[in-house]
Structure formats: structure tokens, C-alpha cells
Amino acid sequence: MEQYDFGMVGLGVMGRNLLFNIADHQYNVAGLDLDQGKVDALQNEATEKQIVKGTTKVDEFVKMLKTPRAIMLLVPAGKPVDGAIASLVPLLEKGDIIVDGGNSYFPDTDRRFKELSEKGIHFFGMGVSGGEEGARFGPSMMPGGDRDAYDRLKPIFEAVAAKVNGEPCVAYMGTGSAGHYVKMVHNGIEYGIMQLISEVYDLLKRGLKYSDDQLQQTFQDWNEGELKSFLLEITGIVLKKNDDETGKRLVEMISDVARAKGTGKWTSQNAMDIQAPVPVIDAAVSMRDLSKYKTERLQASEKLAWNNAANDSDEHGGLIEHVKKAYHFAMLTIYAQGLAQLQLASKEYNYGLNLAEVAKIWRGGCIIRSTSLEDFMHAFVKNPELPNIMLDDSIAATLLDTQEAARFTAKFAIDKGIAASALLSALSYFDAYRTAKLPTNLIQAQRDYFGAHTYERTDREGVFHTKWE
Ligand code: 6PG
């Protein structure tokens, strides 16, 4: 009975595909799902060369696995993870390993680690990125926590991970919930870049009156050279797709109410907790939230209608090159914010993150993979303590080279009345970060005025309070 090397709980799209990927590498794999349909799909889709078995019964599943057992959970974050763990634990033995591969909230991972280690069960959280395709043919994986347990499963994960220049996109991230924290910030960056791309699409479509074909071609072209990235690539593909029913581009038939499962929000929430400024990610979360208020927006589109006809597309003949540079500029600041958050979190939670490794495993397989990750990796190899990649010589040079175009594009958005909160926020972040003397001295003075909160002076040490009137 004990003949399977690896077990997967949750045979949804991600679980099933990752299991097939593992089976492709000569591991015998077993799957558990309470839904018989998903178990059938697993067994029916397996090829002759793959040794794959599914079941709906947890006791049968546990008995099928070689000991010490290696079990991965790919179930929705939250209660389903606790439910799966609770059903497995009574049947497991000391030394068995559970890996949570979902998008779990990192404090939950810390709690589960503690609860399971008290029972002698090894547990670690691992972010898995890349969607269905990634799971099947090579995801990026971010494990953290129980190092020994990870080392035991490392050969499996290295075999199935995406490869860049022959190097696997998986590496031990750090202690505790480091893996899930890194994945959370990955998703925050994902939200930021997706928001930015949607703003560019809007600027080109409504601002420059681009046709469907021009729009599609632009994103396809941008995905060449230095901007090459998965998110630009899929944008080009998405914009090409026609709707079978109407013959229009399918994207134009999709409701503008954006959904979210929470990882972007968690990134922003925790960034506030540890005082890591990530304003573009915050803006991306807010814009998805704002999209939800469709009825109000429809009312406002009439009540607050304003079209600046004075500024039309002809006037801005060469704008597209500026928009491209503006995208480059803002995209860099989004990575900068997320990576700076990781540097801070590493200290706050003693994760021991190595940012060069993070950038390295994000180069392939994951949703935010892009050619820029190679540059970020080099920046952190040069200086592992780099607090912000905007301080790296080569990235600073690119920012300086693109910032004027970003300003030009931002002004165009403002003049046109087209919301571009990621771009505007990226510019403000950049401008604030490069300002030696911010106006926050005034805030300190006001705080001292109304609340005697005290302030520090620029010319000598100490804490001061003034009777202002
Ligand atoms: C990934 C994705 C994946 C998931 C997003 C979607 O890295 O493969 O990030 O984990 O598709 O979390 O998130 P929202 O539903 O919140 O947009």
C-alpha cells in the first residue's frame, strides 16, 4: 500500500497540475479531494507513464504514502487549510511533513507551524506562483520555515520548478512564515503592475484613441527587449482575443468590477504595520475596491462629467514613447517598494531573507517574472543590505532616464481626466524618496502644537516641546 512518494490534498486546477508535474519527474504521486469528480479528472488525465492515484478518503490517502510522509496542501487559504490539517493529523506519525502551498496569510502559517511542531509534525509554508501553466510545467516556489523538512523535499521541488539558465526557481527563503510572506509581497507587486498596465491601456484607448489593433500591437511590441515580462505578454494575448458572441474584443465585454482574494490587501496592511511605504500597491488595492462601486460610478459619470476637449490625441504625436518610458519608470518603483518591504520584514520577523535569492527565483515561473529581475538580483548580489533598489547605480540611472517621460505622461493623464493612480503615486514616491528635506517638519510642529507630541531639531540632539502661543 505504501508506494507513493508524494501526496497532494486539493485537486483543483493548481493541485492537479502540480501533481502531474511531479509525476513527470518519476515520482509516484497520490491525490486527495472530497470531490469524486476531481479525483476522476486526476486519474483520467494522467498519462501511461505517470504513476498517479486519487482518492476521496483521507485514511486511504495517508496509508498510500511512503513514510515519513510528504503531503502538500493546495486548498483555498483560511479555514480549508485548518480543516485539511485537522483531518490529516490524527492519521499522521512523527516525522511526517505537511507543506502548505496555498496563498495562506503569513500569521496563520506561524500559528500552524507552532501547533504542528508540538505534535512532532514538520510543517512549512511555500508560496507557489505561476497559475495553471506554471504548476504544470514549472512554477516559481517560495518555501520557508522548517529547513530540514524543506531539504528533504528539495529534490522534488527543484525538479519541478521553472528553470532560468538551468537554475531552478525555488530556494529556501527563511525562517517561520518567510515563504508565505515573500509570496504575499509577490502578489502585492502583481497587483501594482496589473493596475499600471490597466492605466496604460486606458490612456492609450481613451486618451490617444488607439484602435483595438493598435492597443494589442503596442503591448506585444513592448514585450520585446528590456520590458519583457509575463504580464505584458499576456496583455498582448488577452487584447487579441475576440468574443465569439459579439465579434468584439472579449476584453471589451468583460465587466470592470475587479475581484481580489486578499493577498494584495494583506501586503498593504502589513506594510503599514511595519512602516514600509508601498503607495503604488496601496493604490492598486484601492482601485480594485473602487471598481466595485459601479452604480455610484455610473451616477458620478453624469454628475461629475468633465471632458477636456482642448487636449486631444493629435497634440501629443510622440506621446507613445513617453508612455512606454513612464511604464518602465513606474514598474521599477513597484518592484522597489515590494523589495524594500521584504528587506524591512526580514528584520522585523527575523526571516533572514536573501533578496538576491528572492529576485533570482522570481526570474522564471511566477506571475511577476520579467527581465528586470536579473538586474535586481545583481543589485542585491552587489549589496545584500540594499534597502531600496532605487539606490542601485544602474537602476537609479534608468529611473533618471525615464522620469521625465513619466511626468509628461502623468500630466497628460491629469489633463485628460483619466485616473492613473499607480503612475502618479509612483512619481510621488520617487520624488519624496529623493527629497533631502521633506515638508514633514511642519507635521511635527503641528503635532507638537495640538498634542505636545514633541519634536527633534535639525541642529542638536534631544526632544523638544514649544509653547506655540
Ligand atoms: C500567482 C498568483 C496566484 C493568484 C492570485 C490572484 O502567483 O500564481 O498570484 O496566486 O492567481 O493570487 O489574486 P487575486 O484573486 O487576489 O487577484
CA of 187 to the centre of ligand 1 (A): 6
Would you state the pLDDT for residue 1? Answer: 60
Query: What is d(CA 15, CA 136) in angstroms, rounded to the nearest whole number?
Result: 9
Average pLDDT in the chain: 96
Domain edge (last residue) among 176, 191, 221: 176
Ligand 1 atom closest to the CA of 140, numbered from 1: 7
Would you state the pLDDT for residue 314? Answer: 46
Residue 273 lies in a domain: yes
CA of 261 to the centre of ligand 1 (A): 8
144-162 pLDDT, tens digit per residue, is 999 999 999 999 999 999 9
Note down the domain range covering 452: 438-469
154 and 276 inside one domain: no
22-58 pLDDT, tens digit per residue, is 999 999 999 999 999 999 999 999 999 999 999 999 9
Query: What would the grid cell of residue 114 be?
Result: 507552532
411-438 pLDDT, tens digit per residue, is 999 999 999 999 999 999 999 999 999 9
Give percent of the chain above pLDDT 70.
Answer: 98
Would you state the pLDDT for residue 318? Answer: 84
Q: What are the backbone angles phi and psi of residue 284, rounded to the nearest 5°?
A: -65, -40
Would you state the pLDDT for residue 305? Answer: 96
Query: Edge-to-edge, what's the strand order for the sheet holding 70-73?
Result: 52-55, 29-32, 6-9, 70-73, 97-100, 122-129, 140-145
> Taking 70 as the threshold, does the pLDDT of residue 219 lie above it?
yes
Which residues are 129's β-sheet partners? 140
> Taking 50 as the threshold, does the pLDDT of residue 193 lie above it?
yes
Would you state the pLDDT for residue 309? Answer: 58
Query: CATH code at 57?
Result: 3.40.50.720
310-335 pLDDT, tens digit per residue, is 555 545 568 999 999 999 999 999 99
Taking Cα atoms as reference points, which of 230, 177, 183, 99 lies closest to residue 361? 183
291 and 274 inside one domain: yes
307 and 242 inside one domain: yes
248-267 pLDDT, tens digit per residue, is 999 999 999 999 999 999 99
CA of 255 to the centre of ligand 1 (A): 19
Residue 1 lies in a domain: no
pTM listed for this prediction = 0.97
Inter-CA distances, 168 with 26, 57, 272, 357, Å = 17, 34, 33, 11
Mean pLDDT for 218-231 is 97
Would you state the pLDDT for residue 317? Answer: 65
Identified catalytic residue from 57, 118, 132, 183: 183
CB contact at 8 A, 210 and 201: no
327 and 429 inside one domain: yes
Shortest-distance Cα residue to atom 10 of ligand 1: 129
Query: What is d(CA 285, CA 202) in angstroms, rounded to the nearest whole number?
Result: 18
